[in-house]
Structure 1
């Protein structure tokens, strides 16, 4: 509960610090989606059922500690990404480029194209390791991976439209950061048009 509460509070706090013109109650990300709420409820249910019927599963201290480390690393990575991109960060995909929108490629963005998604991905997996929830660990991993793969592809289509060749070059230099997620891959025709703008 502490990891979950801190994550949502820190989303709001970090947005207030570096991007306050986009600040709203939605910045807490509490109403992220029905699927997110259902996943949280399933993890609590699994924890309770296993704690009652199979308490030995919850006694693997090394597993919980590795979850704590993953939660801290994931949370830190996401907040560093928000700090690095500052006003360019948004909780939703931007479909219209603003005049001050810049492509961020320095700092943590020179390691991963989508460090905030990488952080959230590992944070979510870490929460299930922390709880020693084997069923939700698999479910969270698959669902988070699928969600971020689709979101990255959609976001990269807009980034290519906004930044053209600059983003295409960045894509070729830096990986998404998520395992087996390549992002949006422009067709040969799209590449040709981007290089000849």
Structure 2
């Protein structure tokens, strides 16, 4: 049995319906409503608790450990918005995996776990240590918070504006609704969602004061996105031909050394 599901197309700004099998909505399947509800609830609780703890530590103590709940709050926000934005603007593609909680597993989880460990150890045993040269620690921390916010905003706007043309997986075949978006934020960044995550991730590590993780994130993310962009753009040139070539020549990625 199939059920019509309303889908909003941000390009035509109209609603339409598509049929999806009912079985996909049940537990254990890709669009499980219970699975989506549980993940959204857990992320909401995590965001509320971590945000409250961050504000409490900053307001009533001088401890640098506010960085830990800040990181958890940033992660909770990121993963919730990945699903929400997909569900709101690319509804047909929304599924449990859209939260990206297990994306690039286990490397993704290992990287974040190490970042938490590094922050906990350094700020517990060496809370007064100066990890930044020339007394720039506070300035770099604030810059990290700023990059976290900017990266998240840019990525979310990119997903909203791309609508049905956005996908978490590189597409090797052009779908019927796949269009080349070159206006709005895409007129400033060739891959704004990649730009957003790259600087969001580095911003979290600056804010946490993680020297080792910052260097590790920089190397791994640069390698990942430079390779992914190369593969994706080969497909985009096949899809859109000279139109994409001209767009690529005109608009940069704003990721260092990725042209």
Fold match, TM over 0.5? yes
Q: 1:172 aligns with which of 234, 249, 255?
A: 249
- Matched-pair contact (CA < 8 Å) for 1:82–1:116: yes
Secondary structure at the aligned position of 1:21 is classed as: helix
Counterpart CA distance in 2 for 1:150 and 1:94 is 15
Runs of 5+ consecutive residues of structure 2 not aligned to the other structure: 1-71, 132-136
Asked if residue 150 in structure 1 is aligned to residue 227 in structure 2, the reply is yes
Q: Unaligned regions of 5+ residues in structure 1, if any?
A: 183-197
Residues 51 and 58 in structure 1, CA contact (< 8 A), matched pair in contact too: no
- Describe the SS at the equivalent of 2:258: coil
More helix by share: 1
Matching of residue 53 in structure 1 with residue 103 in structure 2: no
Which range is displaced more, 122-131 or 61-70? 61-70
1:3 to 74, 77, 90: 74
Q: Does 1:14 align with 2:85?
A: yes
Paired residues of 1:58 and 1:132 also in contact (CA < 8 A): no
State the aligned residue count.
182
Which has the bigger relative contact order, CA under 8 A and spacing at least 6?
1
Instruction: Compute the displacement of 1:58 (Å).
Output: 7.9
Distance apart, 1:103 and its partner CA:
0.5
CA contact (8 A) 1:81 1:116 kept: yes
Deviation at 1:62, TM superposition (A): 3.2
User: Quick one: distance in 1 between partners of 2:207 and 2:169?
Assistant: 28
Structure 1 residue 16 displacement after superposition: 0.8
1:28 and 2:99 matched? yes
Q: What TM-score do the two structures reach when normalised by structure 2?
A: 0.68
Larger gyration radius, structure 1 or structure 2: 2
**1:56 counterpart SS class:** coil
The worse-fitting range, judged by mean Cα deviation, of 170-179 and 145-154 is: 170-179
Superposed CA RMSD in Å reads 1.4
Match of 1:39 in 2: 111
